[in-house]
Structure 1
């Protein structure tokens, strides 16, 4: 059976959530059994399970660069904390309206920061939410940087530096935002989020 379902049959989430969502592609992904020697290494482990990476594997060279980029930005050992990188991904996804990415990365943010209620407020109220001085500065900078055209300016950076962010941390914050601006656009143009079967509509 094809994994590509019509828009009419899917159940869209009613808003931003930390609950797990499915993602339904509008273009047929490759079947894992049909992956060639270039595609197969890119789909090892969990990446071969869902449709997203199997769809991106249709252009293996781009997926390889995307995966290396993601690993370097979100799993680097120095610089910005992983929780703050995930916060940037969540804020970017909230700005761009990507419910699927926001659900994934808000869960990471909650797990790493232990601030589930604050993360939920961000999802519920949007990027204008006020939480605390440090998170507010990150949210405001990321939201401004994710805008098209970007609105981030020297005042945003000055505020972050005054709160103790190093140049390396600021660099990581920029990369996290840029990476998810790209990821959101892929998710939003190639498919849509869906509430998993058997779960009440979120």
Structure 2
């Protein structure tokens, strides 16, 4: 937690809340890192964050929408797309691969029956079955995370709201 606070300049509330149960905290963040920080497959870090934003919006999780919207803005260098997805992902200005990815993630999120048509749409957008697993695993993991955020009334840190919108003060960063 000290490393996260030192690197980001603040400690995200999710760390504070989930540290209530240390063993579960470690398991949660171990799986989080496996899903969100891997360098394999065709999903970028920005793609992964966009999945979290869309599915967390559906699950009405303010914490995840705000915090992962900030991460999406940073990774994508796009200050508006995550906001569009929060309002209505179906009307957001998405690339065809992003649309296919979010359509699949939302089908998993809603617990729709997953059919070959879903996999074909992903394949037509350049994804394979391993990518489909990653998309589904992210949607499923964050469904659990969203429920824990609801249980604890987890609120986004104020810092998340401006991340990726306002340039960081490099002088403040160099003082650390």
Is TM-score (shorter-chain normalized) higher than 0.5?
yes
1:82–1:112 CA contact under 8 A, matched in 2 = yes
Closer, same or farther in 2 for the Cα pair 1:119/1:52, shift >3 Å? closer
Question: Which residue does the alignment assign to 2:55?
Answer: 92
CA displacement, residues 124-149 of structure 1 (integer Å, 9 cap, x when unaligned): 2x2332423222111211111111x3
Q: How does 1:68-147 map to 2 (within 5 A)?
A: 68-79=30-41, 80-124=43-87, 126-131=88-93, 132-147=95-110
2:51–2:139 CA contact under 8 A, matched in 1 = yes
Aligned partner (choices 25, 40, 65) of residue 63 of structure 1: 25
Note the C-alpha offset of 1:152.
3.8
TM superposition score normalised by structure 2: 0.76
2:66–2:156 CA contact under 8 A, matched in 1 = no
Runs of 4+ in 1 over 4 A off after TM superposition: none
- Aligned equivalents of 1:44 and 1:84: distance in 2? 27
Q: Counterpart of 1:58 in 2: which secondary structure? A: coil
Q: How many residues align?
A: 154
Unaligned runs of 5+ in 1: 1-42
Note the C-alpha offset of 1:50.
4.6
- Aligned equivalents of 1:86 and 1:50: distance in 2? 16
Note the C-alpha offset of 1:150.
3.4
Instruction: Point out the structure with the larger helix share.
Output: 2
2:51–2:138 CA contact under 8 A, matched in 1 = yes
Unaligned runs of 5+ in 2: 162-176
Aligned partner (choices 114, 138, 142) of residue 176 of structure 1: 138
- Aligned equivalents of 1:151 and 1:103: distance in 2? 29
TM superposition score normalised by structure 1: 0.67
- Aligned equivalents of 2:65 and 2:96: distance in 1? 22
- Aligned equivalents of 1:195 and 1:83: distance in 2? 20
Greater CA drift, 82-91 or 129-138: 129-138
CA displacement, residues 130-179 of structure 1 (integer Å, 9 cap, x when unaligned): 423222111211111111x3344322221011111122222211121111
Question: Which residue does the alignment assign to 1:5?
Answer: none
- Mark the structure with the bigger radius of gyration: 1
> Please, what is the CA RMSD of the aligned residues?
2.5
Closer, same or farther in 2 for the Cα pair 1:52/1:114, shift >3 Å? closer
